[in-house]
Structure 1
Amino acid sequence: MTKDMAPLLGYRLKLAQHALHRRMEEALRPLGLSPAQYAVLAELNARPDQANADLAERAFITPQSMQGVLKGLEVAGLVERRQDSRHGRRQLARLTVLGHGTADAANIAVMEVEIRLEAAVAPAELGEAVQMMERLHKAMIAP
């Protein structure tokens, strides 16, 4: 049976996510960053000394892809890595001084996108919209 996808909630969520991703790409392009790189910078800005696997989960990419993202950020001088003294083979990433400045600039760019997104929701409904997104997320991760 063929079904029109347009009214499906999952399809609508994916459309919105895709449009959001494109806007973030546009906002971050002048800084030479991708959304995945921004996610890493923002995460390390909030919580330094994180392992590859933890960052990958928070950036919605695989640990293998995260290795490439971190390497690129390291080469650009935005991130540095060191061995975890508690776990021999594990490396922890943190921002450099340049990385902090770039993360701050990227946050400003991304907040413009967030403002545009939130403008589509009435201020009185914003909390409800966030709660609905949380419920949808929980429904999808539940066993």
Structure 2
Amino acid sequence: MNKDMTPLLGYRLKLAQHALHRRMEEALKPLGLNPAQYAVLAELNARPDQTNADLAERAFITPQSMQGVLAKLEGLRLVERRQDVRHGRRQLARLTPDGYVKAEAANAEMMRVEEVLEAAVDPDTVQDAVDLMDRLHSAMCKQD
């Protein structure tokens, strides 16, 4: 049975997510960043001293992949890691001064992407759109 996927809500959501990811890549490329690297910088800008696992969850990648992202950001001197004094095996990441500057520049680019998204929604219904996305997320997280 051939089923046309086009009208399905999940397919449409994935199309929008894919287009958003492409737009993010384009916006971040001049800064020498990709979306996963941006996610790390944004998270550490908001909440310093996070673990690899915490950052991986928020960037939607595996902890193994996050290890590579953090190593790259360390090499660029945007992030530094140190041992957690309360848990000897854990390392905590934080932004360097250059990391803060890069995070702010990347945030400005991402706000322009966000403006494109919001422009696609009637200004009076932006909160309704956010609420819809929250409901969709919750529905997908429920166990049967």
- TM-score of the pair, normalised by structure 2: 0.98
Distance between the aligned counterparts of 1:102 and 1:126, measured in 2? 28
Structure 2: gaps spanning 5 or more residues:
none
Q: Which residue of 1 aligns with 2:102?
A: 102
Deviation at 1:142, TM superposition (A): 1.1
Structure 1: gaps spanning 5 or more residues:
none
Deviation at 1:29, TM superposition (A): 0.3
Distance between the aligned counterparts of 1:139 and 1:84, measured in 2? 36
Percent identical pairs in the alignment equals 75
Distance between the aligned counterparts of 1:56 and 1:134, measured in 2? 21
- TM-score of the pair, normalised by structure 1: 0.99
Q: Which residue of 1 aligns with 2:55?
A: 55
Q: Which residue of 1 aligns with 2:72?
A: 72
| Structure number with higher strand proportion | 1
Distance between the aligned counterparts of 1:104 and 1:125, measured in 2? 28
What is the SS of the residue equivalent to 1:50? coil
Distance between the aligned counterparts of 2:45 and 2:142, measured in 1? 30
Spell out, residue by residue over 1:25-75, the C-alpha distance to the aligned partner (whole angstroms, 9 max, x if none): 000000000000000000000000000000000000000000000000000
Q: Which residue of 1 aligns with 2:37?
A: 37
Q: Which residue of 2 aligns with 1:3?
A: 3
The one-letter code matched in structure 2 to 1:48 is P
